[in-house]
Structure 1
Amino acid sequence: MTQLTAPRRQRVSVRGLVDDLGPTQAANGLVALVFAATGPVAVILAVGTAGGLSRVEISSWIFAVFFLNGLLTIAASWAYRQPLSFFWTIPGTVVVGKSLDHLTWPEVLGAFLVTGALIVVLGLTGWVGRAMAVIPLPLVMAMVAGVFLRFGTDLVGAVRSDAAIAAPMVLAFVALSRITSLGRWMPPVLGALLVGAAAVGIAGSFAPASGPVLASPTFQAPVFTTGALLELVVPLAITVLVVQNGQGVAVLNQAGHRPPINVATVWCGIGSMLSATIGGISSCLTGPTSSLLVASGKRERHYAAAVVCGALALVVGLFAPLFVRLMLATPPAYVATLGGLAMLRALQGAFVASFAHRFTLGALVTFLVTITDVTIFNIGGAFWGIVLGLAASWILEPADFDHRE
């Protein structure tokens, strides 16, 4: 068994957390939560509806992935004083959607439970940390760039398709970024969020539908079948450990943090097992959300943004049906512009880390395969991008392995 990284001996007090929490950290935490509660939730809604899940089952799913992962995020970020943001595997949700046309929901829940147990074992043995150390950082960051690229292209598309909403947001972001004296009081992304909300109100394009307010988490008994386990467990574990956790760890390393990989893996497994009991998919250390949390502010205060994000996730979990209806009632351009602006620096950093020095050809292969999203054996392009990029570097850039830092 491996030695798990212990939390800080001197925990941050509540007073210390309050001192570290400023407008920048609050804004980063809010934007990260808004991101998680819009596009990714829409994926759950689409998969659940297409798979024939009831409103109660979908509501319980959303409650699980927000409330339980919010608790994990608060506890881990506070204990380790790092922005350890836990949510759920979006690629895994897509994989599950492809299986619901021939598997029952209880069979899928059984696969969720076994996946969580497998992830716990891999974290305790230390295999995950050793595997991640083998993969060069430029390749992982190229995968991150490929995953994040759509946020940039969606931003451009939003300005083109709905300039009345997107253009004021972009102008506000540029002004607050350029005029640093204003930016210190009003973080650029938060300013874009508020200006966009005003633009949506003026345009009269906010029309939420009626429906329940509070979530209804219900215990759901799993069913274990060989077919479902063979089909889902390995792909789900890969999306958590390689695709999602790989992104999260790479983003945090790039920001100067040193996340406890094995501990985070164990927490993902425990969160996955708890979530599965009420219909939620596997937990992971997210890449996009982590990028938003470390987008600005001092490194030693990034954890405060994660605590804010986790606390807001608890609220979203409790009021999941209401919150999702409100967010999805805004024009698509609002969410696309907000996400794109928030991810600009993260995307820039990913490209710089990918192509600045070594493993540049492997990074290019990784990037191209990732954005193409080639799916083999129900495993998406982000994983195959790493595999093929590593192969390309191994064959065509062997000298770079001899000079790794």
Structure 2
Amino acid sequence: MLRILNDMSLSALVAGFVAVLIGFASSVAIVFQAAQAAGADSNTIVSWIMALGFGMGATCFFLSLWYRSPVITAWSTPGAALLATSLGTISYAEAIGVFVFAGLLTLLTGASGLFDKVMRLVPLPLACAMLAGVLFQFGLAIFDSMMSDVFLVGVMSLTYLVCKRFVPRYSVLFVLVVGVAIVLVRSDESLMLDIPFDVGGFVWVWPEWNLSALIGIGVPLYIVTMTSQNIPGVAVMRSSGYQTPVSPLISWTGFTSIILAPLGGFAFNLAAITAAICSGEECHKDPKRRYIAGLAAGIFYGLAGVAGASVVALFSIFPATMIAALAGIALLGTIGINLKNAMVDDSNREAALVTFLVTVSGVSFGGIASAFWGLLFGVICLLLSNIKLK
């Protein structure tokens, strides 16, 4: 406890809070759609949010504490999008069976050590290029949002530039404060009073097994979670210099999914976007003290789980333009350093460029996301360029 207190910093706490804010506000609507597609009523949807909040909170806090690195987990956003379009033909209990099955596949992948071995074969420049490609759209979103609300995003961007010059560690904090202040000043006075402050309850449903659903939905859920979430999540840690063992992390996310699936915790995984916020220099200059952001994210996720529907209602008052701008601004430094690391080595530059372009393109073959294909095409390019002709 004494070490944690000594390592505590405001910038790391802010990074953890911003990660939770962006994680919830940017994709909670998709989780709602997935729950509704599964046939969940209002009480069950609250159980989903609570289970996801507690699951992410526990894994963030205890894994970050154990490994002394910012281990940030998240729900599977692409998995939720998949479920929103796939669960309409099966019962809710069978949907729970799908969640348990996908979690079991994830647990076996981590326990076997296969995922860790594969990721260690990927050169760092390619991993950085892939991560830059994943985050690139968030940087562009700053200026897309500016077209919709030039005053809000313009003031937030100017705040960042000024604070980056004078108080770089707290630049994201000031951007957040300024954004929230503008939103509240613009809003109706009774806006905050309309938010219900309720503590929800869990709804437990035992799983039922439908073989066609396990194969047709469970396997794709596992694949998109591994390729779209866990691969970029590992890339974030590696590009930030953390050599945290991957297999135990994957195993714990799979185990958490299995345990919380009957409550609505459909899929947990390593985060990429929010992890990048907690792993960069804006969090803390000393990489050894950035794990505090993981602890903070865990606590805030846990509080979000306790509040349930209230937190969802609170996050809903923030406009999409503010959330998009905040995410992009918080990730600017990470995008820049990963582009630099990807292109600095002449021998890997072309392969890294291919990885970046394929990832940015958003191509998807067989339901597998572009992050996977970016790495694959980059590795193929690297192997071919290293063939020596006699």
Establish whether residue 27 from structure 1 lines up as the match of residue 14 from structure 2.
yes
Letter in 2 for 1:203: R
Long gaps (5+) in structure 2: none
Establish whether residue 387 from structure 1 lines up as the match of residue 370 from structure 2.
no
Deviation of the 1:244 alpha carbon? 1.6
**1:253 is matched with which residue: 233, 238, 241?**
238
1:260-312 deviation line (CA, Å, top 9, x unaligned):
11111111111111121211121111111111111221101011111011001
Bigger Cα displacement from structure 2, 332-341 vs 300-309: 332-341
CA change 1:315–1:368 in 2 (3 A) is: same
Establish whether residue 326 from structure 1 lines up as the match of residue 314 from structure 2.
yes
1:150-170 deviation line (CA, Å, top 9, x unaligned):
211111112221122112211
Deviation of the 1:50 alpha carbon? 5.1
Bigger Cα displacement from structure 2, 323-332 vs 39-48: 39-48
Distance 2:322 2:32 in 1: 19
Distance 1:54 1:142 in 2: 42
**2:43 is matched with which residue: 46, 49, 56?**
56
Distance 1:103 1:353 in 2: 46
Bigger Cα displacement from structure 2, 33-42 vs 202-211: 202-211
2:202 maps to: 217
Distance 1:36 1:366 in 2: 25
Establish whether residue 15 from structure 1 lines up as the match of residue 2 from structure 2.
yes
Percentage of identical aligned residues? 28
Deviation of the 1:377 alpha carbon? 2.8
1:68 maps to: 55
Instruction: Tell me if the contact between 2:19 and 2:297 (Cα under 8 Å) persists in the aligned partners.
Output: yes
SS in 2 for 1:38: helix
CA change 1:100–1:211 in 2 (3 A) is: farther
Establish whether residue 201 from structure 1 lines up as the match of residue 173 from structure 2.
no
Distance 2:126 2:77 in 1: 21
CA change 1:31–1:48 in 2 (3 A) is: same
1:294-331 deviation line (CA, Å, top 9, x unaligned):
12211010111110110011000111211111111122
CA change 1:50–1:225 in 2 (3 A) is: closer
Bigger Cα displacement from structure 2, 49-58 vs 257-266: 49-58
CA change 1:370–1:160 in 2 (3 A) is: same
Instruction: Tell me if the contact between 1:141 and 1:247 (Cα under 8 Å) persists in the aligned partners.
Output: no
SS in 1 for 2:269: strand
Deviation of the 1:218 alpha carbon? 1.1
Instruction: Tell me if the contact between 2:198 and 2:309 (Cα under 8 Å) persists in the aligned partners.
Output: yes
Instruction: Tell me if the contact between 2:39 and 2:91 (Cα under 8 Å) persists in the aligned partners.
Output: no
Establish whether residue 78 from structure 1 lines up as the match of residue 61 from structure 2.
no
Bigger Cα displacement from structure 2, 263-272 vs 48-57: 48-57
Instruction: Tell me if the contact between 1:168 and 1:199 (Cα under 8 Å) persists in the aligned partners.
Output: no
1:9-58 deviation line (CA, Å, top 9, x unaligned):
xxxxx121111111111111111111111102122123334554322222
Distance 2:115 2:155 in 1: 44
2:222 maps to: 237
Establish whether residue 308 from structure 1 lines up as the match of residue 291 from structure 2.
no
**2:339 is matched with which residue: 344, 347, 351?**
351
Distance 2:219 2:128 in 1: 23
Instruction: Tell me if the contact between 1:70 and 1:87 (Cα under 8 Å) persists in the aligned partners.
Output: no
SS in 2 for 1:258: coil
Distance 1:33 1:22 in 2: 17
CA change 1:52–1:354 in 2 (3 A) is: farther
Distance 1:20 1:210 in 2: 35
Distance 1:361 1:322 in 2: 49
SS in 2 for 1:78: helix
2:125 maps to: 138
1:273 maps to: 258
CA change 1:124–1:21 in 2 (3 A) is: same
Q: What TM-score, normalized by structure 1, do the two folds share? A: 0.88
Task: Please provide the CA RMSD for this pair.
Answer: 2.1
Distance 1:268 1:232 in 2: 19
Distance 2:201 2:53 in 1: 13
SS in 2 for 1:259: coil
Long gaps (5+) in structure 1: 1-13, 401-405
Q: What TM-score, normalized by structure 2, do the two folds share? A: 0.91
Deviation of the 1:67 alpha carbon? 0.8
SS in 2 for 1:284: strand
Deviation of the 1:61 alpha carbon? 1.5
Deviation of the 1:349 alpha carbon? 2.0
Aligned length: 382
